Chain A
């Protein structure tokens, strides 16, 4: 039990300590809060091993963090008085640092809005969220983005600098700022989820924890009245539906199993139910956002029965989604839905119009042609294989090519 206690606590409590302390420090001093949190855990690992685990480890951490904060302010006061002749800060404030659930959630919510600041590129926003709110280590983040630890450290340094220069402290996060920035916060959470779900990394545990962190942040937004908007619910619904297939979409060898070939019994029913619940909650406004459409598409993907209107509905939803926001992936998925509704011939005509150039596009063309033009199917799959980089993707394409080559003469 001791082995995992500190890492597990670190995962959740490290970020809580930083965010709560940031109520008492300006954002320019966020590193002091981080140092105090780190020192607190250092002391925990030193003393718990010797003296045993305290009866309430969380309360222990909070008390130590509070005392370290008071120590820091006291030392700083001495410094200010002697060296710079400044007024001392009263310690009263710091003796009353509050660790209630409510305070923690409120602080974390505000911290999301500080970190998801559009002055930073979206990738940097996500990296900061993972580091400060998710308690992710530099190594995990580097694995997520397939880059080096040095690179991530550099990005964190630059992104933090901008956040500090923006001078928006926790106390400045008011309802006006929340309304203005909610949409960009939701997009950051959505991309964080996608980073996990369509991961560059092969590390299954990291993929999962990225998705879980995105969902946790979204739940935080739903629990707060000012951010519990229909689109927030739509985003959570979408993430619930997607993650319901987590166990089904990967085999023991970490290979991706395509939707059509998944064992539907492995879909997580509890998450599908949650997805349905939040989808209904999301219908309360009169706005249809891209999250609503994507959640509805995900809803239909979670229905096991191949009812006649399933793919028609999916096609209609993609038609609408593309009108709100074009993306190559949505265009490809729309064409696949069109194939399900109208057959390969019509889908090929539409697919040829897309004129994309990635491996997914040529895979789709290969798939569509495989019904009555195996030569063209093979041609397109070979193009796809030439472009595909990830080993998982190449394996899938190779499997299709093998089948096509063995049945080529049956044409």
Chain B
């Protein structure tokens, strides 16, 4: 088995605010989707990224927020185990990011000896 990283990207809509009920519902979608991967014994790790952040550029230039100049931001990741990229892609199906217009990028890890 190899490890793969799924990166969740989406374009935040500043006009759209989720109600607490929607948020709760959203958490459930994510938990069920990740739970499904974990139930297959293929889960390794996950993290959700918060909106707080800064970007460091050459010459010590620091900009606020991860999304000052990019439209799309990374909302989090899951590391999973799969035989190959195709299987990892299958695991990505049903990811709740797809429901809000976002997408999942599935990447393999480079092997460095």
Q: Give chain A's interface residues, CB within 8 Å of chain B.
A: 312, 315-316, 318-320, 322-323, 326, 330-331, 334-335, 338, 350, 353-355
Secondary structure type dominating chain B contacts:
helix
* Docked-complex contact B32 and A355, CB < 8 angstroms: no
Q: Which of B31, B34, B40, B46 contacts A355 (CB 8 A)?
A: B40
Q: Are A319 and B31 in contact (CB under 8 A)?
A: yes
> Could you list 11 further interchain pairs (A-B, Cβ under 8 angstroms) beyond the known A316-B31, A330-B39, A353-B40?
A318-B39, A322-B38, A322-B39, A323-B35, A323-B38, A326-B43, A331-B39, A331-B41, A338-B32, A354-B39, A355-B40
A331-B43 Cα distance, complex, nearest whole Å: 12
Q: How many residues of B contact A (CB 8 A)?
A: 12
Chain A CB count within 10 A is highest, among B38, B39, B40, B43, for B39
Instruction: Collect the chain A residues with CB atoms within 8 Å of residue B28's CB.
Output: 312, 316
Q: Does B26 contact A (CB under 8 A)?
A: no
Q: Kindly report which residue of chain B lies nearest to residue A353, judged by CB atoms.
A: B40
Instruction: Tell me, rounded to whole Å, the shortest Cβ–Cβ distance linking A308 to chain B.
Output: 13
* B39 surroundings in chain A (CB, below 8 A): 318, 322, 326, 330-331, 334-335, 350, 353-354
Contacts of A350 in B (CB 8 A): 36, 39
Chain B residues contacting A319 (CB-CB under 8 Å) are 31-32, 34-35, 38
Shortest beta-carbon distance from A137 to chain B in Å = 39
Contact partners of A353 in chain B: CB under 8 A: 36, 39-40
Please, which residues of chain A bring their CB within 8 A of the CB of B46? Answer: 323
Chain B residues within 8 Å of A, Cβ to Cβ = 28, 31-32, 34-36, 38-41, 43, 46
Q: Residues of B contacting A315 with CB < 8 Å?
A: 32, 35
A323: which B residues are within 8 A, CB to CB? 34-35, 38, 43, 46
Least distance between A327 CB and chain B CB atoms (Å):
9
* Most A-side CB within 10 Å, residue of B28, B38, B40: B38
Asked if A320 contacts B31 (CB within 8 A), the reply is yes
- Shortest distance between the CB of B64 and any CB in chain A (Å): 30
Give chain A residues whose Cβ lies under 8 Å from the Cβ of B41. 326, 331
A312 to chain B, nearest CB (A): 8
| A355–B83 alpha-carbon span in the complex (Å) | 14
A320 vs B35: C-alpha distance in the bound complex, in angstroms? 7
Determine chain A's interface SS by DSSP, over half rule. helix
Query: Once the chains are docked, how many angstroms separate the CA of A88 from the CA of B89?
Result: 75
Q: How far is the CB of A181 from chain B (nearest CB, A)?
A: 26
> Bound complex: CA of A334 vs CA of B37, how far in Å?
12
Please judge, given known A-B contacts A316-B28, A323-B46, whether A354 and B35 are in contact too, CB under 8 Å: no
Q: What are 25 A-B residue pairs whose CB atoms fall within 8 Å in the complex?
A: A315-B35, A316-B31, A316-B35, A318-B39, A319-B31, A319-B32, A319-B35, A319-B38, A320-B35, A322-B35, A322-B38, A322-B39, A323-B38, A323-B43, A323-B46, A326-B39, A326-B41, A326-B43, A331-B38, A331-B41, A338-B32, A350-B36, A353-B39, A353-B40, A354-B40
CA distance A319 to B46 in the complex (A): 13
In the bound complex, residues from chain B placing their C-beta under 8 Å from that of A331 are 38-41
Closest chain A CB from B20 CB (angstroms) = 16
* Complex Cα–Cα for A318 and B28 (A): 12
**How distant is B41 from chain A, measured CB to nearest CB, in Å?**
4
A322–B43 touching, CB < 8 Å:
yes
Evaluate contact between B35 and A318: CB separation under 8 angstroms: yes
Set of chain B residues within 8 Å of A320, measured between Cβ atoms: 31, 35
Q: Name the CB-closest residue of B to A316.
A: B31
Give min CB distance, B82 to chain A, whole Å.
12
Nearest Cβ on chain B to A366's Cβ, whole angstroms: 18
Rounded to whole angstroms, the CA-CA distance of A277 and B16 in the bound complex is: 43
Residue of A nearest to B38 (CB): A322
9 closest A-B pairs by beta carbon, nearest first, are: A319-B35, A322-B38, A331-B39, A326-B41, A319-B31, A323-B38, A334-B39, A353-B40, A322-B39
Q: Considering only CB atoms, which chain B residue lies closest to A319 in the complex?
A: B35
CB distance from A400 to the nearest CB of B (A): 23
Distance A326 CA – B36 CA, assembled complex (angstroms): 11
Pick the most buried of B35, B36, B38, B41: most chain A CB atoms within 10 A of its CB.
B35
A353, B39: Cα distance in complex, Å: 9
Residues of A within 8 A of B32 (CB): 315, 319, 338
Q: Report chain A residues within 8 Å CB of B43.
A: 322-323, 326
A350 CB → nearest B CB, Å = 6
Kindly state the separation between the CA atoms of A334 and B39 in the bound complex, as whole angstroms: 7
* Residues of B contacting A355 in the complex (Cβ-Cβ under 8 angstroms): 40
Q: What CA separation (Å) do A28 and B21 show in the bound complex?
A: 63
Q: Which residue of A lies closest to B35 (CB)?
A: A319
Please indicate the chain A residues that have their CB under 8 angstroms from the CB of B38 in the complex: 319, 322-323, 326, 331
